[in-house]
Structure 1
Amino acid sequence: MLTRAYLRASTKEQDASRARNDLQSFADERGLKVASWYVENESGASLARPELFRLLSDCHPGDVLLVEQVDRLSRLNAEDWAKLKAEITAKRVRVVALDLPTSYQLANSGDDFTSRMLDAINGMMLDMLAAIARKDYEDRRRRQRQGIDKAKSDGVYRGRPEDAKRNEAIIAMLKSGQSWNNIVSATGCSRSTLSRLAKRIASAQEA
């Protein structure tokens, strides 16, 4: 049985490795050896998470997927959570989360009856915590939209400030003929940003 630790943050400005010490301490206290770490900055509300699926691809039956909290694994809607959970089940991976005590009991269980009982309990708890994480995500998004709407109605909304230095570099890359895929990989910008900057270049050339 190998333990594979997964660390996630939503944006590149956040430190995805923040919880590494807590996970390492948890593993050390229970005699678990962390074989590898998988770190990424991606939204938990999306299935587009290369490191998580690389982790699952590396796993063997009985391996442990160690996370700080269930919301690091999922802020997915019900349909996408079902897909991810099916992938985890198919790989026979045991999810252990620091905020879900029964998950470690499952990973450390002995006889078949106890294992099956804890598996059922753990599955229900995972579903519940995943649903709570999704609700928290939707609530925060709703409050954010309400705040933006109010700021707009008050005439004080200015949107996210432009990263002028980064955009200058992206414009230079576009002008040099680099592919959009290479620019996205190098800068982490979205394709919508690339499209907007490409239009800006075209407008400047027409002027």
Structure 2
Amino acid sequence: MFIRAYLRASTEDQFVDRGKEMLEKFVQERGHKIASYYRENISGIKLDRPELGRLLIDSHKNDILLVEQVDRLTRLTNSDWETLKKKIQQHQLRIVSLDIPTSWQALSEKEPSQNDPVTCAVIAAINNMLIDLMATMSHKDWLSRRQRQKQGIERAHEQGKYRGKQADHERHQKVMYYRNETVAIGF
């Protein structure tokens, strides 16, 4: 069993390793080490995430996909979450999330097949239900934040306070300079 930690932040401006120390401490307390980290700065609403895809390809049966919270793994729509979940299941990964204590058992067991099959099935069902619930709530949270942002922008427009993203005049001048240079030399 390898523990594969997935760290995600929504934008390039955000610190993707923010939760790394917490994940390391969590795993060390249970007598394990993280085998590899997969980091990316990309929205959780996007299904196509290169590092998450690499994690899936690198994984083996019964490996752990470790996340700080389910919203680091997904903010996907229900249909996209079902697609990702199927990929995770096809690779026979077990999701462990710090915000779902019942998922922690995957780190305490030596070999999943050594446990009572009924107990394993019940715990798997509970974990799947909780992960699905948290995935749905993560998407709902994303939608709510987008709605509040839209309302705030509309109100700021009405009050004449919102100016939108400001033009980067320096960058524009550089683009025009290089564009004129390439025209001048015949490209």
Q: Give the unaligned 5+ runs of structure 1.
A: 178-207
Distance 2:6 2:181 in 1: 37
Q: What is residue 141 of structure 2 aligned with on the other side?
A: 136
**Given the superposition, is the C-alpha separation of residues 119 and 152 from structure 1 closer, same or farther in structure 2, using an over 3 Å criterion?**
same
Cα deviation digits, residues 20-69 of structure 1 (max 9, x gap) = 00001011111122111000000001112100111011000100000000
Residue pairs, 1:164-203, within 5 angstroms:
164=169
Residue pairs, 1:139-158, within 5 angstroms:
139-158=144-163
Aligned-partner SS, 2:95? strand
Of 117, 123, 135, the match for 1:118 = 123
Percent of paired sites with the same residue? 47
TM-score w.r.t. structure 2 length? Answer: 0.87
Q: What is residue 164 of structure 2 aligned with on the other side?
A: 159
Cα deviation digits, residues 100-152 of structure 1 (max 9, x gap) = 10111144343322211110000000000001111110000000000111111
Q: What is residue 65 of structure 1 aligned with on the other side?
A: 65
Aligned-partner SS, 1:34? coil
Aligned-partner SS, 2:7? strand
**Given the superposition, is the C-alpha separation of residues 30 and 146 from structure 1 closer, same or farther in structure 2, using an over 3 Å criterion?**
same
Q: What is residue 9 of structure 1 aligned with on the other side?
A: 9
**Given the superposition, is the C-alpha separation of residues 103 and 25 from structure 1 closer, same or farther in structure 2, using an over 3 Å criterion?**
same
User: Cα offset for 1:174?
Assistant: 6.3
Q: What is residue 204 of structure 1 aligned with on the other side?
A: none
Q: Which deviates more, 68-77 or 154-163?
A: 154-163
Distance 1:62 1:114 in 2: 17
Cα deviation digits, residues 143-189 of structure 1 (max 9, x gap) = 00001111112222111234455555666676777xxxxxxxxxxxx
Q: Give the unaligned 5+ runs of structure 2.
A: 110-114, 183-187
**Given the superposition, is the C-alpha separation of residues 167 and 41 from structure 1 closer, same or farther in structure 2, using an over 3 Å criterion?**
farther
Q: How many pairs were matched up?
A: 177
CA contact (8 A) 1:97 1:103 kept: yes
Aligned-partner SS, 1:95? strand
Distance 2:167 2:52 in 1: 31
Distance 1:73 1:66 in 2: 9
CA contact (8 A) 1:9 1:15 kept: yes
Q: What is residue 42 of structure 1 aligned with on the other side?
A: 42
Cα RMSD, aligned residues only = 1.9
User: Cα offset for 1:94?
Assistant: 0.3
Q: What is residue 84 of structure 1 aligned with on the other side?
A: 84
Distance 2:39 2:177 in 1: 30
